Amino acid sequence: MPLVDDLKKIIKGEVLADDATRAKFSHDASLFELRPQVVVAPKDVEDIQALVKYVTEKRKAGETISITGRSGGTDMSGGALTESIVLDFSKHFTRIKNISNFSAVVEPGVYYRDFEKETLKQNLLLPTYPASREICMIGGMVSNNSGGEKTPAYGKTEDFVIGLKMILSDGKEYVIKPLDKAELQQKMKEPTFEGKLYKKMYDLVSKNYDLVKKAKPDVTKNSAGYDLWNIWDGETFDLTKLFVGSQGTLGMVTEVKFRLVQPKKYSKLAVIFLRNLDPLPEIIKKVHALKPESFESYDDNTLKLAIKFIPDLIKVLKPKNLFKLGWSFLPEMRMVLTGGWPKLVLLAEFTGDNEKEVDARMHELSTQLQPMHLAFRMIHDEDEANKYWVIRRESFNLLRKHVKDKRTAPFIDDFIVRAEKIPEFYPRLNAILKKYDIFYTIAGHVGDGNFHIIPLMNLKDPRSKQIIEKLSGEVYKLVLEYHGSITAEHNDGLIRTPYLEEMFGSEVYELFKETKKIFDPLDIFNPGKKVDGNMKYAFDHLVKS
């Protein structure tokens, strides 16, 4: 293969095009399948620079060739899939370079789980990890602007990135960090590729300032589109806000500098079981008033899966006392026998540096819930609390591993509305879902109003495409009616890029396209994501099995 031969001449790392490798990299956690021509595992920055220059030359010569970066391959939107070149960061870009002074410098191929082990040794934490924390990598967290269970208290990944190293379309590596007014003015005067980029982006944002600010979704977190509204506040010009969440469409991240926080010393969990959703509005109000660090939920189908496949949970939990773990499920069993499965399980985590303060908030919540005649538990044991967190985090993996005749189909898996709108929004959402004969689980960040709905479908059935397209349209129309976002954390990728113009309007969408052209005029970085998405192309690449 000429492409492979060419790349082996310029790349020090691995260049692989065997069937097994191409098959492995043709999937992520989405419902798509795209087989790359070749997978490149760069040894160092020079390898990536050489690859970018090679692809640029080929594009100028009229060849259809591009680069799609990939770290852990846990993306649920198809964002890491391509029919061209995969750039695999997981083999060599795996260094944690420094952790000190409430910050860390790390490469994109590092597993979050390994990163956290090292930060916790210094009593520090990056609190924006997603539910896939055990299998995701840093590069994906940055590219998707990940958030998770601690977002209500701390924010998303964009709030913790204080610097990046990026290889841009000219093949050079740049340091990207916030600039004050004077630094911005100096940067824009430079007659360089970088200087011109800053000038063009400043002009784009400043000339469309009101339009851009108005376009910001009215929710606590968002991964849809390009984050133009947060680049410039009149004092600081920060392109890290643009690159975080850009899904590798503007350049390749080679290094990340994070701000870290100290985790709270004490953590206790309130678990609330709802047999119907009528009390949900009042519960949300009461819990929010007590300022939880996390406020999560999962439905009855998720709980049933957890109990059915409890051996898998045991592998994740690694309990010191297996008997104690089994005993901890007795309250759930008793509840099921006396009143049926709860429709929704809510997890409210209260943390602090003062144990008495945490206990006081737990006691106050208990006092407020008593008159509502709800089933709830106040859990002080760390191992038992971990049981509930693992059920919440592992629900998607349980579905992927154990359902044989159908597969997980994440396509309405990440929308968000404001939390106070949930009582009005949720019944309307359920009414839409009930029209379709599909099994699905619901889990999510109820504290943010962010839902993850994962249907199980037989994608060989030709009706599946119709259901995906029709159901997506109905759900997203409802989400936008409530001024929400079609993706809070999982990003656009193949599945949601075609809906971005509907979400933001044609004027803002044109600004997204202009942004892409400024950074990537030849469209060499992950084409078809964020702009110029094609639903037909996406449907033509649904998984075959």
HEC readout, 159-216 = HCEEEEEEECCCCCEEEECCEEHHHHHHHHHCCCHHHHHHHHHHHHHHHCHHHHHHHC
What percent of the chain shows pLDDT beyond 90? 71
Assign 493 to helix, strand or coil: helix
Q: What share of the chain is helix, strand, coil (3-state, %, to 5)?
A: 45, 20, 35
Measured in residues, the chain has a length of: 545
Cα dihedral 390, 396, 398, 401 sign: negative
Q: pLDDT band at 325, cuts 50/70/90?
A: low
Give 454-510 pLDDT, tens digit per residue. 888 888 888 888 999 999 999 999 999 999 999 999 999 999 999 999 999 999 999
Find the mean pLDDT for residues 181-202.
97
Judge whether 489 lies within some domain. Answer: no
My answer on whether 276 and 246 are in the same domain is no
Quick one: pLDDT at residue 402? 61
Q: Are residues 359 and 460 in the same domain?
A: yes
pLDDT category at 312 given cuts 50, 70, 90 is: low
Q: Is pLDDT above 60 for 30? A: yes
Q: Distance between CA 249 and CA 40 in Å, rounded?
A: 17
User: Is 211 part of any domain?
Assistant: yes
55 — alpha (psi -120 to 50), left (phi > 0) or beta?
alpha
Q: Is residue 246 part of a domain?
A: yes
Q: CA 126, CA 138: separation in Å to the nearest integer?
A: 11
Do 403 and 296 reside in the same domain of the chain?
A: yes
Supply the CATH number for residue 373's domain: 3.40.462.40
Residues 253-285: tens digit of each pLDDT: 999 999 999 999 999 999 999 888 788 878 988
DSSP bridge pairs for 100: 103
Same-domain pairing of 369 and 398: yes
Pair 435, 313 in one domain: yes
Confidence of residue 128 (pLDDT cuts 50, 70, 90): very high
Take residue 123 and report the two structure tokens written for it.
Answer: 């009593």
- Please tell me whether residues 118 and 218 are part of one structural domain: yes
Domain end, chosen from 88, 122, 153, is at: 88
Q: Is 503 found in the same domain as 467?
A: no
Rounded-to-integer distance, Cα 140 and Cα 63, Å = 28
Residue 205 half-sphere exposure toward CB, CA atoms < 13 A: 24
Q: Please tell me whether residues 54 and 38 are part of one structural domain.
A: yes
Task: Report the CATH number that the domain containing residue 174 is assigned in CATH.
Answer: 3.30.465.10
Distance CA 299, CA 386 (A): 17
**Residue 359 within a domain:** yes
Q: Is the pLDDT of residue 331 over 70?
A: no
397/304 same-domain check:
yes
Q: What is the pLDDT of residue 396?
A: 67
- pLDDT tens sequence across 134-158: 999 999 999 999 998 898 889 999 9
How many structural domains is the chain composed of?
Answer: 4
CATH number of the domain that 20 lies in? 3.30.43.10
Give the pLDDT score at 352.
94
Kindly report the backbone phi and psi dihedral angles of residue 124, in degrees, each rounded to the nearest multiple of 5, phi listed first. -130, 155
What's the Cα-to-Cα distance from 38 to each of 23, 140, 195, rounded to whole Å? 11, 20, 34
Q: 165 and 244, same structural domain?
A: yes
**Order of strands across the sheet with 450-457?**
375-379, 266-274, 344-352, 294-299, 439-445, 450-457, 407-408
Q: What whole-number distance in Å separates Cα of residue 494 and Cα of residue 492?
A: 6
Whether 430 shows a pLDDT value over 60: the answer reads yes
- Rg of the chain's alpha carbons, rounded to an integer? 23
pLDDT at 435 over 70: yes
Give the domain-ending residue among 481, 504, 530.
481
- 353 DSSP 8-state letter: S
Q: Please name every residue paired with 245 in a beta bridge, in sequence order, or none if there are none.
A: none
Look at residue 333 in the predicted model and tell me its pLDDT: 64
The domain in which residue 517 lies consists of 495-540
Angle, alpha carbons 415-420-424 (nearest 5°): 75
Q: Is residue 125 part of a domain?
A: yes
Residue 274 lies in a domain: yes
415: number of CA atoms within 13 Å, CB side? 29
pTM comes to 0.92
Average pLDDT taken over every residue of the chain: 91
| Final residue before a domain boundary, out of 201, 229, 259 | 259
Dig out the tokens for 212 from the structure.
């851009």
User: Has residue 126 been placed in a domain?
Assistant: yes
Same domain, 316 and 426: yes
pLDDT, one tens digit per residue, over 51-90 is 999 999 999 999 999 999 999 999 999 999 999 999 999 9
- pLDDT tens-digit readout, 392-412: 777 666 666 666 667 788 999
Taking the CA of residue 82 as centre, how many other CA atoms within 13 Å lie in the half-sphere pointing to its CB? Answer: 26
Question: 145 and 23 in one domain?
Answer: no
Q: Is residue 136 part of a domain?
A: yes
